[in-house]
Structure 1
Amino acid sequence: MVQDRQNHELAGLEYTDDDDFGHDLLDMYRRRAGAYVIALKDTDEMIGIIELNKRGESEGLLATREIGFVVCKEYRQQGFAKEAIQLLRDYSFNELDLTELWASTEADNVAPQKLLESLEFKYMYEADQTLPYTGQHNLIKYYLLTK
């Protein structure tokens, strides 16, 4: 996943062509609280990553999280991201008792924007974001879903 430049360009996922660093990046995601694998039900093959990240530790942000997701290109537009987001949304609102879910996309990545809107996320604003490890800047659109 981290060796696919398109995942970097479309979703902001870190990119590397170095196998060792790629394994280190995926291991970092594996250890992170709130990071989950999107996998095929029949084979357990990993086809993506979905995350539920804290937005901060201040009182106003404790009941909010940000969803991030990426699906390997050969599995895109087949409903996997939609199902994963729906499951994480239901878990967030029903089990974690969160009140807000945020999601962001690259400004020119229309497919996930349409997906988020189909799941009733509302576009809120655009911002410049610096990626960790690379220092690259990307224009990001932010979407909000409330309970």
Structure 2
Amino acid sequence: MTSHPHDPGEPHPAEGHAANGEDLAALLARLLEETGKTQKDLAEASGVKYPTLNAWITRTRGTSRVDPEQLRALADSLRGWGGSVTPKQIFESAGRPVPGPSDAEREARLLKIYRGLSARQQRSLLGIAEEMASSSRA
């Protein structure tokens, strides 16, 4: 008998687990129950498309390529409803490194530097940033 790589009953091979052993599917299911909200409520509040959220919860889609802003939005929405979760737990449960805090001043400084570069330098900088982001996901 062959094993299917995306068996809904099993975690996706690229998935991680939060410190308490929950993957993203288990964590979200628990928090939805805790807050009395539905998947559709969470999808609407976080801006994540319902089919995508449902696929994460049913483990039919992996989370290794999830946009970090989507994970932050999930955490923010759940916390807004009284759910006991931190962004760190959400990232860990998705098997993703926890990004550093966003700082408006640092972002503005980086954007100013970027805008001062030539087109070639901007492409190089983007390549470096993309490489850094992909290596942090691995």
TM-score w.r.t. length of structure 2 = 0.32
Answer with 1 or 2: which has the greater Rg.
2
Going by fraction, where is strand more abundant, 1 or 2? 1
Going by fraction, where is helix more abundant, 1 or 2? 2
Of the two structures, which has the highest relative contact order with CA contacts closer than 8 Å and spacing of 6 or more? 2
